[in-house]
Structure formats: C-alpha cells, structure tokens
C-alpha cells in the first residue's frame, strides 16, 4: 500500500482492508485499514493459514476460458513479423522445461502469453507492482536452488540494466543462467502532458514496435569471455 495507489479516496472503496505489518507506524499510513495486524510475516502466516478455505474459482476460470475462445492468441501467420513473440516460442521449443524469469514490460507480457509452460512453479515474474531488474537476480537464485535445470531470464533492454552488475555475481559464482535480451523500439515512460498520441496505443502500433525486436542470448560462457576481455 505504500506504492502507487492513485487517488487514495477511491482506493478499493468496497474492500475491507486488512494490513499486516511488523511496523506499527506503518498501519493506516496511506489508507485507513479496518483490521490492523502488527505481526511478523512468519507468525502471521502460521496462524492464518489453517483458517483459509480453498476458494472455488470455477466461475472465474469458465469466464477466462470464454475469453480465450473469443480472443485467441494470434496465429503464427499473423505474428510472422513479430520477432519477439516468435523468439519466445523458439526459446520454449528449445528449453521446454526451463525455469523462466522475466523483467517488466513487453518481455514479461509476451513471455506470459507465448511461453508454453509444461511444469508448474517454473515462472518467476514481478507482477502487480512490477519491478524492472527483478528477473536477473531471480534467475540467479532459481539456478542456485535448481542446479539441474536450465534457467533463463527473458529480459528487456531497459530492465536488464537495473541489475546488470549481477553478471559479475553469475560469473564469479559459476551460475550458468541465460539472459535473453529483447531490443525494442517501443516507447515507455510516465504519461506525457495531454496523453500519448492515440496511435501509440493501437494494437497495430504495438505490433510494429515489436517487429524490430531482436533477441540476444548471452550465455554464461560468452559473458565470462567478455568479462575476461574487459578486466
């Protein structure tokens, strides 16, 4: 709740807000909460988990199934010019059992849609208040925890720069993660005065922005070579 909540007076108007925080000073700091709980996460989870009921999502799943039917992903012919999406499909074909992390942006959205995951608990992505720079350290952690699996960070050319210094960690620790960096021409940024030109919001423009996406895979070995060359 300390992040971007927009107009606070309109924040979740019908919700009963429960805030769990170890710091009493943070309770109701931004949004008035109905139920404050000052507790450590561990103790709180331990006490709350036994009371959770398994939710029934059948209606929601049926609704999303209907959306998938009425708005399917574009056919491969339609995405012929879209190299980023095709590259993600290629990565999925080459490494179908990989653990995938992403950064934030198109790299994340297209990966979520075009990487066909065969195993659960294999997708690490910073949803919600998504944080650029998440994917690479997440990949390093996943690789350390799963030495037998291929781990790939599908990154954007912007986000990778947030934690690119961790290449040194990957090399010095011998962590063989792959980083696939997509180079896009799309525009991101805070809202411009007067809003974005309408054309940049159209799907046609999104396609043309990704037409020029190029994907570069930096393997650990190449990275090590480069690092040696630099040092």
Residues that bind Mg ion (CB under 5 A): 156-158, 184
- Asked if residue 105 binds ligand TPP (CB under 6 A), the reply is yes
Q: Label residue 67 exposed, middle or buried (CB < 10 Å: 0-12, 13-18, 19+).
A: exposed
User: Kindly report the CA angle at 66 between 74 and 96, in degrees rounded to 5?
Assistant: 50
Measured from the CB of residue 213, what is the shortest distance to Mg ion in angstroms?
8
- Asked if residue 159 binds ligand TPP (CB under 6 A), the reply is yes
The rounded distance, in Å, linking the Cα atoms of 53 and 201 is: 41
Q: Which of 130, 149, 207, 217 binds ligand TPP (CB under 6 A)?
A: 130
Measured from the CB of residue 191, what is the shortest distance to ligand TPP in angstroms?
12
**How far apart, in Å, are the Cα atoms of 192 and each of 42, 156, 168, 195?**
42, 22, 37, 5
- Asked if residue 176 binds ligand TPP (CB under 6 A), the reply is no
Q: From 34-42, 69-77, 170-178, 180-188, give the range in contact with ligand TPP by CB under 6 A.
A: 180-188
- Cβ atoms of residues 80 and 211 within 8 Å: no
If binding means CB under 6 A, how many residues of this protein chain bind ligand TPP?
A: 18
Element (H, E) at 99: strand 99-102
- Cβ atoms of residues 106 and 130 within 8 Å: no
The three-class DSSP label of residue 26 is helix
Measured from the CB of residue 4, what is the shortest distance to ligand TPP in angstroms?
10
163 binds, among Mg ion, ligand TPP, none (CB under 5 to 8 A by kind): none
- Asked if residue 184 binds ligand TPP (CB under 6 A), the reply is yes
Name the DSSP class of 96.
T
- Asked if residue 82 binds ligand TPP (CB under 6 A), the reply is no
- Asked if residue 106 binds ligand TPP (CB under 6 A), the reply is yes
142 binds, among Mg ion, ligand TPP, none (CB under 5 to 8 A by kind): none
- Asked if residue 21 binds ligand TPP (CB under 6 A), the reply is no
- Which residues, other chains included, contact 107 with Cβ-Cβ below 8 Å and sequence gap of 6+? 84, 135, 154, 155, 156, 159, 182
Site residues, ligand TPP (CB under 6 A): 103-107, 130-133, 156-159, 162, 182, 184, 186, 188
């Amino acid at each position: 709740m300390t992040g971007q909540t927009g107009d606070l007076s309109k924040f979740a108007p019908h919700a009963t807000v429960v805030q769990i925080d170890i710091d009493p000073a943070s309770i109701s700091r931004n949004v008035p909460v109905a139920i404050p709980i000052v507790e450590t996460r561990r103790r709180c989870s331990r006490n709350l988990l036994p009371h959770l009921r398994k939710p029934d999502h059948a209606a929601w799943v049926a609704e999303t199934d209907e959306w998938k039917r009425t708005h399917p992903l574009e056919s491969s012919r339609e995405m012929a010019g879209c190299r980023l999406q095709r590259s993600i499909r290629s990565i999925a074909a080459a490494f179908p059992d990989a653990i995938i992390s992403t950064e934030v942006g198109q790299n994340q959205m297209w990966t979520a849609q075009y990487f066909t995951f065969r195993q659960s608990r294999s997708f690490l992505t910073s949803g919600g208040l998504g944080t650029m720079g998440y994917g690479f350290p997440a990949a390093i952690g996943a690789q350390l925890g799963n030495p037998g699996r291929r781990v790939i960070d599908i990154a954007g050319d912007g986000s990778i720069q947030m934690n690119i210094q961790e290449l040194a960690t990957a090399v010095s620790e011998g962590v063989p993660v792959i980083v696939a960096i997509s180079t896009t021409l799309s525009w991101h940024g805070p809202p411009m005065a007067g809003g974005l030109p309408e054309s940049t919001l159209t799907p046609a423009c999104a396609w043309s922005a990704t037409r020029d996406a190029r994907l570069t895979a930096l393997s650990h070995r190449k990275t090590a070579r480069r690092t040696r060359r630099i040092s």
